[in-house]
Chains A and B, each alone.
Chain A
Amino acid sequence: MRRRSFIQSIAGLTVVSSFLASCQRQHVIKGSVIGASSHTGHLLRDKNFAAPVATTEHDIVIVGGGISGLSAARHLHRQGITNMVILDLEKEMGGNAACGSNDISGYPWGAHYVPIPNNDLTAYTDFMRECGVITSPPEAPLPTYNEYYICFDPEERLYINGQWQEGLIPQFGVPDAEKKQIQQFLDKMQAFRIAKGEDGKDAFAIPLDNSSKDPVFTALDQLTMKEWLHQQGWTSPYLQWYVNYCTRDDYGTTYDEISAWVGIQYFASRKGKGSNADHHDVLTWPEGNGWLAAHLKKELQPYFRNEALVARIQEEDGKLTIDYFDVKESRLKRINARQCILAVPQFVAGRILHDEARIRKVHQHIQYSPWMVANIRSNALDERTGYALSWDNVIYDSPSLGYVEATHQQVEQGKKQKNLTYYLPLTGKSPVEERKAAIERTHTEWVKMIVDDLDLVHPDIAANIEEVNVMIWGHAMARPLPGTAHGTIRQELGASINDRLHFAHTDLAGNSLFEEAFYQGLTAAQKVMTQLSAKI
């Protein structure tokens, strides 16, 4: 009886879905594909610029208005520096923390959240206090977090074995033997979280460079996460999926490529604790980390020069000359500066410096992950059984990372329309191939990919999507491959040049976290201040 009614439903559904499909043809999904200005950016690679037309003098030039650059500028501004400019290719500063908005809410083009800060990151928690994220004074024994920004419940769900379960760690329909392995893995991560090396430092810290150099732990940087799991005898496919999900989520890198040390760092480095929040909580805003970028930008507006493509940096007679192409005026301009912070990815830095050795080295050692991020404007969607719509919604075994409901932190009742941020790290083939394919894909093709993926959990999604905007990040982040965290390459590339030219970027930090960028900028700014005060 059951079987028959099942067959009937299937037969009926085929008929219906073909009906529906014919209706959907009329439903046009609006939107477009945006890319971080790769077109202008590639001028750097392809174009020979004429001589600069105007020259100005500044103490400090910061190239790149991502979080590293903004953080450096903020620190310098606080130190009383005023003769400074920040150059960025894009129309808006913010880098990967870019965001957009519509009449429903803001939405991010990059990360949606930061974890609860580790309590030892004083400069960072001070910044959080300034933004109103931490509401308690510095002397409070534990910071109190603003409850509007701590991710509301329900936080995460996973569609697995035909049902939504609470949380992302596979549980529903997972055999006991595999559950046991998952538990062992989590216990191990907890042990790593509290572990310290011989040098007394935390085994896994944020920033990465504050971690212990004890070879017991750094040896993990020599193998991949998959190899390490294998060594531990953890063969459970559910566990492997979960770990792979996490490494793709944070680093755009699959677990069979990522350094085991960095893979573990994802789980073991977050130790923050507040009076009303714990290390597993996250801080989130509709526009994601764009919210934090906006706070960083607040007092820096006078220094901004957007749509400025830096073409060349040279050093002459103890002075730096920075030539940049003003996209709006379509002219090359020159700045003479005493100090410069290159807060751009290394593959760009090599080109700007016209440093062939650097370009080769970067090419050899650093791979950049391409990503696709889409923001979807949607009506209420049909739900499968199980746990309710959450902030983060993940489908087991999907190529994507699922979607975050950007509107989750709104307190209003009965909002029918939502913005959903859909994340797809392009890890299928090599970064070069994926990047090429991504640039060639049309809006319609992207929308089809998204709909085909989410259709499993929201069968009516095609009819309910109104608009999809797609962002292609050709070089979203450097991949933490084995050897990058504890090898020498980051030091080699990150060393200041003649105490005038400094580097700050997360590809030098070893992973692309907001905190790392914040400290990259801060450290570079401190180097600049040392040089300036030495010369006075």
Chain B
Amino acid sequence: MSKKENGAQWLLLTAVFVIATCGLIYELVAGTLASYLLGDSITQFSTIIGVYLFSMGIGSFLSKYFSKNLLAWFIRIELLVGLVGGFSSALLFITFPLAASFRLILYAIVLITGILVGLEIPLLMRILEKKVEFKELVSRVFTFDYIGALLASLIFPLLLVPHLGLIRTSLFFGILNVGVGWYLAYKFSGEVRQAGLLKASAIILLLSQLVCFVFSEKIMTYSEAMTYDDNVVYSTSTPYQRIVITKNKHELRLFLNGNLQFSTADEYRYHEALVHPTFSSLSNPEQVLVLGGGDGLAVREILKYPAVKQVTLVDLDPAMTKLFSKQRMLTMLNDSSLLNPKVRVHNADAFTWLRNNKTKFDAIVVDFPDPSNFSIGKLYSTTFYQLLKHALRPEGIAVIQSTSPYVAPKSFWCVDTTLKAVGLHTIAYHNYVPSFGEWGYIMATPQEPHQWFSHIPAPLKFLNPTTLQQMLTFPEDMKAHQLLDINKLNNQALVKYFEEEWSKYLER
């Protein structure tokens, strides 16, 4: 008898050890996640540890209300801890975009785990109280409790976070918790009522956590929270893209499909450089076409020219142009340019729109995403530039954002080569935009106009005749140093250059 009793005692003490480890792990996961997602790690860790310990206190207090079937309760709680704790980080990742209620969910999870873990130690001590001498019991339980805590605190930063990641770490310990619960139910099935039910629920839980464990990558990609350094203040999925706006004390940033489009800190550098070299070289830019640029920031610069009579903006995504027409924070940024009576917005595919277009324009601003895939690569092809040329008046100018000539010189000069291939004259230039790095643009015109840069409007924050001259000079490290292919629909040379150059750059 004493041998069996002894075995049971050690089993339960192992359970204490596991509980202690798991409990601390959940707390650490919550703390880490909160610091990742909300920033300010000191505050996050401090409040989470506080809430967790306090909840354990609540749990200990509540333990006195459990008087019968202690072992069954212990197992149930074990399973519950496994459920809540195991899924905690997956749940937090998924709910993060719901912004407002996130903290509520976070602290609720910490509270519930805390209470449950807090219940367990007193319950266990009462289960064992008749089997072990009191001083032995206290000594053993707390020894195991604190050793478990030490183990958790060591393996969490050293092993778990780097190798498993947060979602899998919490799931892994959820599985451990549930596993212990199942084993206890199995071992003590004679002493526990409804042991079968407990075992069955344990197995269901185990399976679902296993599935989640396998698919944790998917959950991570679903939750983009980790991608951004700052708070996500707006996010939406349209049929075309994922729009995310983040904010910190100094700036607001727009991301499309995870790629930075602009930061309010320096977007003027980009948009002044995109618009003014072209417009200051046109004596009478009446008809203007903007392809892409649904944020209205290029249009804001264009409207600084009184000669402009009409701006036609073609952007694929209605959600984008609507957002930048209606959201006050954003209309302040683009001076409500999209609401200007001179501006007409068409939500259409640029290629198809241009193919059907019959109007001739004085200026065309092409502000597409970088050619990072074969679909977008079509918008940089000879076929597209033929249409562009066709839509320009002979003395008109088009300007094309053409990625970074520093990171991707071959890509940049491939755009130049392609424009020349359809018979356009080009002028390439670049400037420094801190958020992007060194950025490049190319002006293209059927006929060379006479007065380059003669009407720069005042006052601009970045562009003036002196900076303009600097922008036209390319140092050696921004040149291609090789003969480049023309980008055509049937070779997609640009996408290949782009992929090669940017992946090499991002490897560093």
Contacts and interface: CB of A to CB of B under 8 A. Distances in A.
Most buried by B among A9, A12, A150: A12
Contact of A155 (B207, B241, B490): B490
Interface stretch (B40-48, B108-116, B118-126, B349-357): B349-357
A147 B214 contact: no
Contact of A153 (B214, B350, B491): B491
A411 B374 contact: no
Given A8-B214, A147-B382, A413-B376, A154 B492 contact: yes
A16 to B, nearest CB: 5
A152 B375 contact: no
Contact of B213 (A12, A413, A416): A12
Given A147-B383, A155-B490, A276-B488, A414 B375 contact: yes
Interface in A1-50: 8-9, 11-13, 15-16, 19
B489 A9 contact: no
B480 interface: no
Contact of B211 (A16, A150, A155, A281): A16
Given A148-B383, A413-B349, A12 B489 contact: no
B502 interface: no
Nearest to B348: A412
A414 B240 contact: yes
Interface in A261-312: 276-277, 281
Interface residues of A, number: 25
Contacts of B375: 413-414
Given A147-B383, A281-B490, A154 B374 contact: yes
B239 interface: yes
B257 to A, nearest CB: 11
Contacts of A154: 374, 492
B236 to A, nearest CB: 15
B210 A8 contact: yes
Contacts of A412: 349, 351-352
A12 B210 CA distance: 6
Main DSSP-derived SS at the B contact region: helix
B352 A151 contact: no
Contact of B489 (A19, A153, A416): A153
A15 B207 contact: yes
B492 A153 contact: yes
Interface string A348-378: 0000000000000000000000000000000
B378 interface: yes
B373 interface: yes
A11 B384 CA distance: 50
B210 A11 contact: yes
B316 A152 contact: no
A152 B490 contact: yes
Nearest to B214: A12
A175 to B, nearest CB: 27
A314 B355 CA distance: 54
Nearest to B241: A414
Nearest to B373: A388
A455 B488 CA distance: 33
Nearest to A277: B490
A411 B352 contact: yes
B474 interface: no
A144 B493 CA distance: 19
Contacts of A416: 239
A150 B378 CA distance: 13
B215 interface: yes
B208 to A, nearest CB: 9
Give the 7 A-B residue pairs with the shortest CB-CB distance, closest first: A12-B214, A153-B492, A411-B351, A412-B349, A414-B240, A152-B489, A150-B490
Interface of B: 207, 210-211, 213-215, 239-241, 316, 349-352, 355, 373-376, 378-379, 381-384, 488-492
Given A388-B373, A414-B239, 10 more contacts: A8-B213, A11-B210, A15-B207, A16-B215, A151-B490, A152-B492, A153-B492, A154-B492, A413-B349, A414-B375
11 contacts: A9-B214, A16-B215, A19-B211, A147-B383, A147-B490, A152-B374, A153-B488, A412-B349, A413-B379, A414-B241, A414-B375
